[in-house]
Chain A
Amino acid sequence: RKEVEQDPGPFNVPEGATVAFNCTYSNSASQSFFWYRQDCRKEPKLLMSVYSSGNEDGRFTAQLNRASQYISLLIRDSKLSDSATYLCVVRPGDTGRRALTFGSGTRLQVQP
């Protein structure tokens, strides 16, 4: 089983739609969670951290479900500029020095 799993998509949605992505992780001791965004042929950039109580940043809402070991990203009122690949990122909770683990990404295409 992969450490971080995402549906690769693509998710093709019209402008203004609401779209949600899920991501599952295998390590129950994982401590921190992030969503990164990567535009075509560009580097990944942090979109938002995911907190246990859930958090919202404008049109973006992130949720964490520790019991089921998944995190989600909800995008409301999709814009054309939201088209990108969204990477789910998990920081293992084991002691020792392990870097962040990236999922393979979910591609979103917002259409006019």
Chain B
Amino acid sequence: ETGVTQTPRHLVMGMTNKKSLKCEQHLGHNAMYWYKQSAKKPLELMFVYNFKEQTENNSVPSRFSPECPNSSHLFLHLHTLQPEDSALYLCASSQLTALGRSSSYNEQFFGPGTRLTVL
């Protein structure tokens, strides 16, 4: 079992709908991530959360709104999406280790993803 679960696994929505993707990790990690993977493209990092605080937002459009209520749960709220937003959305978690003044991300564990289709 992966230790990182995502729901729903598949989602079809219209451009005017509002939906949310959910991710839960059972690994005791303190960092969580959202990635987008479009067909035949590499993984694109969207957001990073450390200890519930957002630390990275890679120029993601505001129609994607993340929420991290605690270190085990991560949501991605979707509204007024475009057809080009259709992709596999992957959640991941890892343990962030403090090293002096810097911090170190260790290997990430991924959830199975939500395959999103925007009509």
Chain A positions near chain B (C-beta within 8 angstroms)? 31-32, 34, 41-46, 49, 87, 91, 95-100, 102-105
Contacts and interface: CB of A to CB of B under 8 A. Distances in A.
Given A45-B110, A91-B104, A97-B50, A102 B42 contact: yes
Given A99-B56, A104-B41, 14 more contacts: A32-B104, A32-B106, A41-B88, A42-B112, A43-B111, A44-B110, A45-B110, A46-B109, A97-B56, A98-B56, A98-B105, A99-B45, A100-B94, A102-B43
Contact of B110 (A43, A49, A98): A43
A50 to B, nearest CB: 11
Contacts of A45: 110
A94 B102 CA distance: 8
A100 B108 contact: yes
Interface SS of B by simple majority: strand
B56 A43 contact: no
A51 to B, nearest CB: 13
A104 B107 CA distance: 17
Interface residues of B, number: 29
| B55, B101, B102, B111: most-surrounded residue (chain A CB, <10 A) | B102
Given A43-B90, A105-B42, A100 B112 contact: no
Contact of B105 (A43, A46, A99, A102): A99
B48 interface: yes
Nearest to A8: B40
B104 A31 contact: yes
A95 B2 contact: no
A95 B102 contact: yes
Report which residue of A32, A87, A99 has the largest number of chain B beta carbons within 10 angstroms of its beta carbon: A99
